[in-house]
A and B are shown apart, each in its own frame.
Chain A
Amino acid sequence: MLRKAGVGRGDRVAVFLPQSLESAVAIYGILHAGAAFVPIDPATPPARMQAILDKCGVRHLITQEGKRADIARLIQTPHGLDLIVGLDAGLGGISTKSWAEVFAATPSDGPQITDQDLSYVMWTSGSTGAPKGMTHVHRNGLIYAGNLAETHGLCADDRFLGLSPLHFDMAVMDYIAAPLVGATTIIVPEAVAKLPAALTRLAAQQRATVVYTVPFAMTQMLHRGAMEKYDLTALRWMIFGGENFPAKHLRALMQALPQARFANAFGPAETHQISSYTLPGPPEDGAAIPVGKPWRTLEAMVVDAKDHPVTPGEAGELLVRSPSCMLGYWDDPVRTDHAFFRRPLGGTLSQVFYRTGDLVRQDPDGMMYFLGRVGRQIKLRGFRIELDEVEAVLVAAPGVQDCAVVCDDTRQHLVGFLRPDAGQTPDLARLKARCRDHLPPYAVPSELRVIRAFPRTGSAKIDRAALVRLELDKD
């Protein structure tokens, strides 16, 4: 069907779907047609989605009836869409194909592609407010999936609890590693994923063996999942990544699932996962949990501010040279250039490392420890958020003089502090609505507060640490 619509090698096709069987059909149909899939978070506001589709040159979109209203809003502004798959009837003069037609269609042959052809472009927050598209080729996902399979001994008897939406690179486990080893993926509907007790019930009913998700989701299962009511003895791997797992919660979860092994997965979506650490037992409070040794398919290097390797055991930025590294950010030569470090080989040749922005320490035996972020990007409940991007949205609003957004780690939410223009009283509800319109839902501050003057550091910068203290002292 996509081939008949003119989709071919190297094209980008957007997937705007909640977790469903259709999402699996969509990505395999796109790959079979020789194209790359562009997953769009189903909660993305229209303006942001429009920016991604434009930038990526998307002409074909795969969705479902439930998204009709969102798409109707999207196409009110100029767009380049030729075909929408997943709608039962036409919309705004764009031709559509229903899912019934998709399932009735006879598959056609795909073009010949290589492991260097585009497979997916995943969009993430950028510090200037413009999203950036991590552009991957087939080889990248296959190497990532192969490393996961080897590390965890994944096999055809496994049943993965598929929690990662397509726009998370962890979805490679559910959508690529599972078919690679012949395992089953239980694609978890959004409604179930949001309710820990429903998730635990599904894991038990489906006899799930592997869970691969962010610590937040696992902590929710522990506290709100009614785990004691369900038989979860089939679980053999609990693999977490994306942020630190507080030791006290991890220990409690390990004690609740004594038969399961727990692993810490590590690596940015730009290179995909680069290491894994299997815990020998429940961690002590405050213990630093390693992120593992680099997988043997790649090279990790820890450097100082001048890109010189540090002495083993010292902290520095992690650079990664990996066969599963992205080609670059889609249509963004400047940020792509900044993302890479080139180590000269001789002549004009060089080896390319991705600058992770992660501050790590690597012991002489290769074991790595994650210490934090070099820049101002944070992780909240597994989502990467550029605080600068959130601030850019707020500062651009009329009546806002200055602002600072901080993350309250205790409450796990963002707080925006605003200094209004002289004589103005900002409409906080409207500002929040503005954030909802321009940012992914997880980057919208939970709370906005007006502040008459910002605490400042010695160099006259807004003292964000003082703001965090202010927030903590509130109660």
Chain B
Amino acid sequence: MNSTMTSKTPPSLDIADTVSAFLSSAEMTGRVVARDEDLLSSGALDSLNIAQLIAFLEARFALTIPVEDVLPETMGSIAAITEYVTQKTGGAQGEC
């Protein structure tokens, strides 16, 4: 990730892993999803499972995601989601 990476995994990596695992689950895509894959144009996400994704993110990271935040720049890829969640949680892990 970056040169200052310590033995402790950076939170953003955990967020990315968690989101990645969820998107790959059978109820979502049932396949491996690349970090930079365009989730919205590739067909990985349709309008139904976008709602599932939002519900998952809210529950898993203890967030409230307002509707106006659900945009291509926040939800378009695993990288974008990770950045958004990191910013919303202030960089801290929202473990629950």
- In the complex, are the beta carbons of B68 and A191 less than 8 A apart? no
Contact in complex: A194, B43 (CB < 8 Å): no
| B76-95 at interface with A (beta carbon < 8 Å) | 76
Q: Are B68 and A229 in contact (CB under 8 A)?
A: yes
Determine whether the beta carbon of A191 is less than 8 Å from that of B48.
no
Interchain CB contact under 8 A, A441 and B41: no
- Kindly state the separation between the CA atoms of A191 and B40 in the bound complex, as whole angstroms: 5
Report which of B47, B50, B67, B69 forms a contact with A225, defined as CB distance below 8 A.
Answer: B67
Q: A191 to B75: give the CA distance in the assembly, Å.
A: 10
Number of interface residues of B (CB under 8 A): 20
Binding-face segment, A47-55, A91-99, A196-204: A196-204
B70: interface (CB < 8 Å):
yes
Give chain B's interface secondary structure class: loop
Q: Which of B35-73 contact A (CB under 8 A)?
A: 38, 40-41, 43, 45-48, 50, 66-72
Q: Is B96 an interface residue (CB 8 A)?
A: no
User: Which chain B residues border A197 with CB–CB below 8 Å?
Assistant: 67-71
Contact B43 A195 (CB under 8 A): no
B11 CB within 8 Å of chain A? no
Please judge, given known A-B contacts A429-B30, A446-B48, whether A191 and B41 are in contact too, CB under 8 Å: yes
Q: In this assembly, does A73 line the interface, its C-beta being within 8 Å of a C-beta of chain B?
A: no
* B-contacting residues, A347-377, CB 8 Å: none
With beta carbons under 8 angstroms apart, the residue of B38, B40, B66, B75 that contacts A226 is B66
CB of B66, distance to nearest CB on chain A (Å): 7
B32 at the interface (CB under 8 A from A): no
Does chain B have a CB within 8 A of A66?
yes
Closest residue to B39 on the A side, CB-wise? Answer: A191
B76 contacts A191, C-beta separation under 8 Å: yes
Q: Are B30 and A226 in contact (CB under 8 A)?
A: no
Q: Mark A422-463, 1 if CB is under 8 A from B, else 0.
A: 000000010011000000010000100000000000000000
Tell me whether A198 and B72 are in contact (CB under 8 A): yes
CB distance from A369 to the nearest CB of B (A): 29
- Neighbouring B residues of A79 by C-beta, 8 Å: none
On whether the beta carbons of A433 and B72 are closer than 8 Å, the reply is: no
Closest beta carbon of chain A to B52's beta carbon, Å: 10
Binary interface profile of B, 9-48, with partner A (CB < 8 Å = 1, else 0)?
0000000000000000010001000000010110101111
- Residues on B with C-beta less than 8 A from A43 are 43
Residue of B nearest to A381 (CB): B47
B26: nearest chain-A partner, CB-CB: A429
A191-221 vs B: 1/0 string, CB under 8 Å?
Answer: 1101111100100000000000000000010
Interface of B toward A, CB cutoff 8 Å: 26, 30, 38, 40-41, 43, 45-48, 50, 66-72, 75-76
Q: List 7 A-B contacts (CB under 8 A).
A: A190-B40, A194-B46, A195-B71, A220-B47, A224-B67, A224-B70, A429-B26
Additional A-B contacts beyond A225-B67, A446-B48 (17; CB < 8 A): A189-B41, A191-B40, A191-B41, A192-B72, A195-B40, A195-B71, A196-B70, A197-B68, A197-B71, A198-B70, A201-B71, A220-B47, A223-B67, A381-B47, A413-B48, A429-B26, A432-B26
